[in-house]
């Protein structure tokens, strides 16, 4: 796999260099020159394959000769070892549950695959690296779990104070070991800005081998494509053959970009719906053709509180680049907090299904699109996190107590350990230089 920078001012790199560098020197994003199309035979038999078997075939096609097949199988077996079931909740409407991994969020797919891939490359090079990652919620917990006690890797997680749920905060501040949490007095965008500046700082780059675990890292997007294929496989196994619409609750747009990669590889997708909260920069772009980032606003669907999505350029390129092409593949929708709460309550009262706020945003976006479309399609909405990670919001909205998985409830009694940090890059840089 050879990758280029979206700003076209940095040299092309191999997969290994892109994984460890994270960002190109020109502050673009790495993109593969080629995205192969999978053979029809793969789709003919996909209903008989497990999620790990699907992941292996997709990764083998994307990575080419970068990782030998025997090693790639080991990476897949260590990282993609949990299910992503498709749950029917209404006629022609399914929830793809992506929260059955260790941290109970969809980020487990990307973080665990990335950790296993980095570990594989590090064993060959005998180097150490320092992971920097910004989180608006679930990324931090998934990265903490995925990289915990991985030899040769230190992890620093930046998160905005007061803007993640209690359980999310405990997931990234209670592990210790090689994982350190910085509580930033600002927004997710501030955290993301600090990480990007660190990668572009020559003094830091000369002292450390810095790498990113955010969705700006191409190795996060590759495994996120796996579950789109797996969802299609489950539909096919169930005998569902209507055109498929995926609705993706979106913040930084890595998840939707991964779906577009799957589509480019031949997955038959009629349309993607980008569902956001009031940080609706991309739905506005899809409606007007004008992309106008702005400061993020706080909502109950906090993992999507992003005012300048890092993966927008990737999404745009994967969907055809020109606005006229992008809207052929992606529709937009957004919900405010009142909309989200109403949806959570209505779905629960009607079906008994409990949704986190992000899932509710996706449900509303999918329902709106299917109603407007007026065609007989199969709708799949991505559920990105277990509802118990947003306990106060869920119970307050539904008006009842809900069960909490033991692995999450056990976190509540643990002591948070986090280092306060300002939004000034000079403070963050000095902290890193003193490590």
Let me know how long the chain is.
435
Catalytic residue among 60, 73, 93, 107: 107
- Catalogue the long-range contacts made by 61-67 (C-beta closer than 8 Å, 24 or more residues apart): 61/36, 61/265, 62/1, 62/32, 62/35, 62/36, 62/222, 62/225, 62/261, 62/265, 63/1, 63/15, 63/222, 64/1, 66/1, 66/14, 66/15, 66/16, 67/117, 67/120
Asked if residues 35 and 261 have their Cβ atoms less than 8 Å apart, the reply is yes
| Torsion of Cα atoms, 188 then 194 then 200 then 203, to 10° | -160
| CA pair distance 233, 262, nearest whole angstrom | 13
Phi/psi region, residue 154 (left: phi>0; alpha: psi -120 to 50; beta: rest), is beta
Q: Which two tokens stand for residue 378?
A: 């199969």
Cα–Cα distance for residue pair 50/237, rounded to 1 Å: 11
Establish whether 107 is a catalytic residue: yes
In DSSP notation, 20-38 reads: HH-S-TTS--EEES--PPP
Q: Look at the block and give the residue holding tokens 């999507």.
A: 304
Helix (H) or strand (E) holding 58: helix 51-63
What per-residue string of b and e applies to 232-268 under the rule 16 or more CB within 10 Å gives b? bbbbbeeebeeebbbbbbbbbbbbbbbbbbbbbbbbe
Place of tokens 């060959």: 124
Cβ-contact 388, 405 below 8 angstroms: yes
- Chain centroid, CA 13 distance in Å: 23
118: helix, strand or coil: helix
**Rounded Cα gap, residues 333 and 117, in angstroms:** 35
Decide: 332 and 282 in contact? Cβ < 8 Å. Answer: yes
**Active site residue ranges:** 107
């Amino acid at each position: 796999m050879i990758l280029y920078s979206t700003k076209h001012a940095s040299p092309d790199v191999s997969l290994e260099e892109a994984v460890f560098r994270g960002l190109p020197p020109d502050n673009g994003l790495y993109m593969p020159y080629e995205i192969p199309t999978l053979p029809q035979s793969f789709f003919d038999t996909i209903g008989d394959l497990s999620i790990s078997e699907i992941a292996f075939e997709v990764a083998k096609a994307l990575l080419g000769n970068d990782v030998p097949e025997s090693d790639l199988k080991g990476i897949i077996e260590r990282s993609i070892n949990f299910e992503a079931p498709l749950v029917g909740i209404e006629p022609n409407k399914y929830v793809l549950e992506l929260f059955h991994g260790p941290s109970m969020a969809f980020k487990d797919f990307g973080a665990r695959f990335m950790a296993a891939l980095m570990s594989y490359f590090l064993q060959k090079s005998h180097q150490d690296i320092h992971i920097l990652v910004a989180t608006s919620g679930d990324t931090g917990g998934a990265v903490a779990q995925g990289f915990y006690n991985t030899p040769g890797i230190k992890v620093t997680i930046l998160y905005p104070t007061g803007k993640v749920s209690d359980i999310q905060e405990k997931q990234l501040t209670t592990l210790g070991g090689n994982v350190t949490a910085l509580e930033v007095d600002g927004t997710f965008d501030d955290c993301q800005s600090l990480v990007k500046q660190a990668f572009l700082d020559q003094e830091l780059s000369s002292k450390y081998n810095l790498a990113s675990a955010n969705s700006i890292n191409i190795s996060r997007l590759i495994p996120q494509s796996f579950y789109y294929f797996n969802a299609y496989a489950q539909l096919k196994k169930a005998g569902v053959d209507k055109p498929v619409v995926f609705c993706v609750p979106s913040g930084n747009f890595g998840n939707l970009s991964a779906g577009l990669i799957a589509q480019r590889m031949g997955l038959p997708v009629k349309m993607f719906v980008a569902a956001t909260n009031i940080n609706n920069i991309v739905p506005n772009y899809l409606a007007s053709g004008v992309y106008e980032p702005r400061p993020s606003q706080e909502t109950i669907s906090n993992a999507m509180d992003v005012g300048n999505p890092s993966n927008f350029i990737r999404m745009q390129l994967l969907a055809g680049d020109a606005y006229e092409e992008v809207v052929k593949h992606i529709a937009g929708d957004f919900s405010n907090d009142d909309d989200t709460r109403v949806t959570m309550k209505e779905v629960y009262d009607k079906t008994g299904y409990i949704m986190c706020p992000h899932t509710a945003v996706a449900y509303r976006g999918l329902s709106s699109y299917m109603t407007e479309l007026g065609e007989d399609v199969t709708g799949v909405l991505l559920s990105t996190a277990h509802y118990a990670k947003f306990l106060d919001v869920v119970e307050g909205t539904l008006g009842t107590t809900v069960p909490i998985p033991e692995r999450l409830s056990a976190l509540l009694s643990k002591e948070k350990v986090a280092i306060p940090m300002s939004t000034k890059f000079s403070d963050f840089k000095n902290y890193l230089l003193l490590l």
